[in-house]
Amino acid sequence: MVATRAVAGTPIDRRELLLRGAAAAAAAAAARVDVGVSRAQLRPAAVRRLDAAVRGAVAVPGRASYENARRVYQLAGPRPRPLAVVTVRDSTDVEALMRWAAREDVAVVARSGGHSYIRQSGGSGAVVADLSRLRNVRVASAAAEVEVGGGVQLIDLNRALAARGALVPTGSCPSVGVGGLTLGGGMGLSARRLGLTCDRLVAATIVTADGRRRRVGARSDEDLFWALRGGGGSFGVVTSLRFAVHRASRAAWASMSLPWAHADEALARWQELAPAAPRALTAILSLSAGGPPQVSVIAQHFGSEAELRRLLAPLARIDGASLSTGVDGLLGLARRWAGCLDGPLAACHTQGTARGGTLQRSSFAASSIYLVRRLDEAGRRALLARVASRSGSGTVILDAYGGAINAVAADATAFVHRDVLASAQVLSYHAPGAGGEARTWVRGTRAALERHGARGAYANYADARLENFEREYWGANRTRLREVKRRVDPDGRLVFPQAVGT
């Protein structure tokens, strides 16, 4: 490992930049990236060589394109200050960028949809490989597989596949990038039936730190392929992903609200029902504060509406529960869960990332933890008390696992959380620059769940304040991830706050 790297003329302490090792320092280290190297700039000659090396647009401080190019979804915290953002045209551009970065000794980070909770693709102190132009979605003729550019947003993948009567299980936010989602896992309302997004990955094209383009899959660089399924963006820039698709045209949906007075009963019944239900059903329960506290459940079922009602009956029987159900086509379902059911489809993109996009960026604090066993009465009481006492924004979202997610062995992919009942995501929105209280509530709520037996964390719900992020995200798989990292990126070229260490 190189001890010190000059960012094209500006000396930077590698420990400042790489944020490896002691994960307890992750939060502080993340802040150091923003502050410590914020004045670092590429030398004009390095910029000229970069301009000459790639065909894509290069945005650097001082160019008009820079302000827009450095925007990411998360508004909380200091604005990222990348050395440059290169909107690459294709894999060849990424190869050229990597070779340039090696010559100049500059760090690189990939950006797909830019939705990292802690701005891991913001690229402060590094050059961002912005994949947003790689938006090709090509369905193979037999429609058994789909090849997807590394910058495709989920709504565009959902749309292209729905038109062919097919789907890949994805998350629900329409403008999340398929790159980040897949590399971290990918949880959504089809997951108990079809697995995580990463479980459907059959091959990927990746440009590694040495500037080599590699096609990886089950029979080609199996280790790297393993790491890409849950291990995140530490191993190179993934320019293309190939997924096995599932043939379907429709599914049943449900949306339920339950009175807070029966929140404990709802939580207890949901815990019994959702993680052990037939695979066809994925159900998510939310507890929300910020006004009168609320309990709600959404669910998707690959089966009939009547079956779905039967499966949810234990919840629907609770006094005061109100249940709506229906059946919809795949695109309708994707739009429903995305919260953009009405209006033109183009609106389901983040403003400025695609023509017609209307979704607003936001500012929030978040964390996650896994329920490895059911919360007992004391655990449920503690969780409900956290929500009930919160006057500001606060939500705990319980995603049921089990089914196809847990059918995969914990060491078969880098995504390790295969024996859990549910993930609990703790989320609080706040005004940019005023997140202290939100962070405190998120932290306290996660700690309450931890005291009642929950553990681990989901890498895609990245939290800069985790004490040991590698252990929380990847558990026993972190050793093999480090081995792969050492092999494909020995100098730590791919770097961001919670990258896998060497």
Ligand X SMILES: Cc1cc2nc3c(=O)[nH]c(=O)nc-3n(C[C@H](O)[C@H](O)[C@H](O)COP(=O)(O)OP(=O)(O)OC[C@H]3O[C@@H](n4cnc5c(N)ncnc54)[C@H](O)[C@@H]3O)c2cc1C
Cα 218 from Cα 85, distance rounded (Å) = 32
Note whether 149 binds ligand X by CB under 6 A: no
Contact between 73 and ligand X (CB under 6 A)? yes
179 binding ligand X? (CB under 6 A): yes
User: Any contact of residue 176 with ligand X (CB under 6 A)?
Assistant: yes
Site for ligand X contains 186 (CB under 6 A)? yes
Among 243, 370, 401, 496, binds ligand X (CB under 6 A): 496
Select the residue interacting with ligand X from 82, 113, 211, 402 (CB under 6 A).
113
Asked if 53 touches ligand X (CB under 6 A), the answer is no
Q: Which residue is nearest to ligand X (CB)?
A: 180
- Rounded to whole angstroms, how far apart are CA atoms 289 and 168? 32
Are β-strands 127-130 and 322-329 bridged in parallel, bridged antiparallel, or unpaired? unpaired
Q: How far is the CB of 48 from ligand X (least distance, A)?
A: 26
How far apart, in whole angstroms, are the C-alpha atoms of residue 10 and residue 6? 5
Number of H helices, E strands in the chain: 17, 20
Residue 109 near ligand X by CB under 6 A: yes
Least separation in angstroms between residue 147's CB and ligand X is: 14
Nearer to ligand X, 50 or 191 (CB): 191
Using the rule CB under 6 A, is 150 a contact of ligand X? yes
CA distance 89 to 91: 7
**Does 17 contact ligand X by CB under 6 A?**
no
**Chosen residue from 91, 112, 190, 282 binding ligand X by CB under 6 A:** 112
Decide whether 282 or 445 has the Cβ nearer to ligand X.
282
The maximal CA–CA distance of the chain, rounded, in angstroms, is 70
Residue 492 interacts with ligand X (CB under 6 A): yes or no: no
Query: Using the rule CB under 6 A, which residue among 47, 54, 75, 131 binds ligand X?
Result: 131
91 binds ligand X (CB under 6 A): no
419 vs 477: CA distance, rounded Å: 14
**Is 110 an interacting residue with respect to ligand X (CB under 6 A)?**
yes
Q: Which of 121, 208, 353, 395 binds ligand X (CB under 6 A)?
A: 121
User: What's the closest the beta carbon of residue 195 comes to ligand X, in angstroms?
Assistant: 12
By CB under 6 A, tell whether 379 contacts ligand X: no
Among 20, 70, 111, 478, binds ligand X (CB under 6 A): 111
SS3 letters across 106-135: CCEEEECCCCCCCCCCCCECCEEEECCCCC
Specify whether the CB–CB gap between 149 and 131 falls below 8 A: yes
The reply on whether position 497 binds ligand X by CB under 6 A is no
User: Residue 403 interacts with ligand X (CB under 6 A)?
Assistant: no
Residue type, 484: V
275 is a site residue for ligand X (CB under 6 A): no
Q: Which amino acid is at 73?
A: Y
Q: Which two tokens stand for residue 247?
A: 């043939």
Contact flag: residue 184 with ligand X (CB under 6 A): yes
In the complex, the smallest distance separating the C-beta of residue 214 from ligand X, rounded to whole angstroms, is 13
Stretch that binds ligand X, among 61-69, 107-115, 294-302, 480-488 (CB under 6 A): 107-115
Q: How far is the CB of 185 from ligand X (least distance, A)?
A: 6
Helices (H), 146-273: 154-162, 178-184, 191-194, 222-228, 263-273
Taking the C-alpha atoms of residue 133 and residue 151, their distance in angstroms, rounded to an integer, is 6
User: Under the criterion CB under 6 A, does residue 478 sit at the interface with ligand X?
Assistant: no
Structural contact between residues 101 and 46, judged by C-beta atoms closer than 8 angstroms: no
Of the candidate residues 198, 238, 284, 481, the single one contacting ligand X (CB under 6 A): 238
Question: What radius of gyration do the chain's Cα atoms show?
Answer: 22
| Burial tier of 147 (Cβ tally within 10 Å: 0-12, 13-18, 19+) | middle
* Site size toward ligand X, by CB under 6 A: 34
Instruction: Single out the segment in contact with ligand X by CB under 6 A; choices: 4-12, 104-112, 254-262, 313-321.
Output: 104-112
Provide the minimum distance between the beta carbon of 367 and ligand X in the complex, in angstroms, as a whole number: 12
> Which window, 116-124, 211-219, 260-268, 414-422, contacts ligand X (CB under 6 A)?
116-124
Q: Is 20 in the site for ligand X (CB under 6 A)?
A: no
Query: Is residue 98 near ligand X by the rule CB under 6 A?
Result: no
Contact present, 441 and 391 (Cβ < 8 Å): no
Told to check if 460 binds ligand X by CB under 6 A, we report yes
**Are the CB atoms for 250 and 168 separated by under 8 Å?**
no
Please identify, using beta-carbon distances, which residue of 174 and 379 lies nearer to ligand X: 174
| Token reading at 326 | 């229906």
Is residue 125 involved in binding ligand X (CB under 6 A)?
Answer: no
Residue of 60, 56, 47, 79 lying closest to 150 (CA atoms): 56
Helix boundaries (H) for 339-419: 377-388, 403-406
CB 43 within 8 A of CB 9: yes
What the block records as the tokens of 56 is 């894509």
Instruction: To the nearest 10°, report the CA torsion of 269, 272, 275, 277.
Output: -90
Among 70, 97, 100, 117, binds ligand X (CB under 6 A): 117
Specify the 3-state DSSP secondary structure of 40.
Answer: coil
Query: CA-CA distance, 469 to 432, in Å (whole number)?
Result: 25
Q: Which residues bind to ligand X, rule: CB under 6 A?
A: 73, 109-117, 120-121, 131, 150, 171-173, 176-177, 179-181, 183-188, 232-233, 237-238, 460, 496
